[in-house]
Amino acid sequence: MRPAAGGAGSVACARVGTRGERARLGTEGVIDAVSLYQLHRCVYDWVRAGEVAGGAAGGQSRESFDASRYDLSDDERQAFESKDVAALYQLGLHPVLLNRFCRAAGFSRDDYRKLLEPFGGPEERKGRWQK
């Protein structure tokens, strides 16, 4: 198990990499990639649990999904269990996986687009003819 974070608000988002991926910085400024992986794995498994529960014998349904099997921080666990789309985005959940999670949780495209609007920037693209 990883050591507990320094307290409430000790996790921040930072831009890393060339594509602008988000990762969380712990109290020492080290990226907590293990916890981020656990969050991705938990969300993916939850989405898959709903997809395969009906057809597979012994499959786990979303209602009986046990998130305690994953090494999530308190913030991650709370965001996952409450289906807080904005918090999951801020924690660094991959946008494609976030889309699947929202669809599986029953959000329409417009619903979660409105939730994520405050995090978007203004459109800066121009067509070739608009130089």
**Which structure tokens are listed for 98?**
């976030």
**pLDDT: which is higher, 27 or 114:** 114
Residue located via tokens 């946008």: 95
Q: Count how many Cα atoms sit within 13 Å of the Cα of residue 120 in the half-sphere of its side chain.
A: 10
User: Strand pairing partners for 22?
Assistant: 15
CATH number of 33-118: 1.10.700
Burial (CB count <10 Å: 0-12, 13-18, 19+), residue 83: middle
Specify the pTM.
Answer: 0.65
**Contact assessment for residue 2 and residue 32, using Cβ atoms and an 8 Å cutoff:** yes
Domain boundaries, the chain: 33-118
Range from 13-17, 24-28, 114-118 that averages highest in pLDDT: 114-118
Q: What pLDDT score does 3 carry?
A: 41
Q: SS3 of 81, please?
A: helix
Q: Considering only CA atoms, which of 20, 11, 18 is closest in space to residue 95?
A: 20
In this predicted model, what pLDDT tens digit does every residue of 57-86 receive, in sequence order? 445 677 778 888 999 999 999 999 999 999
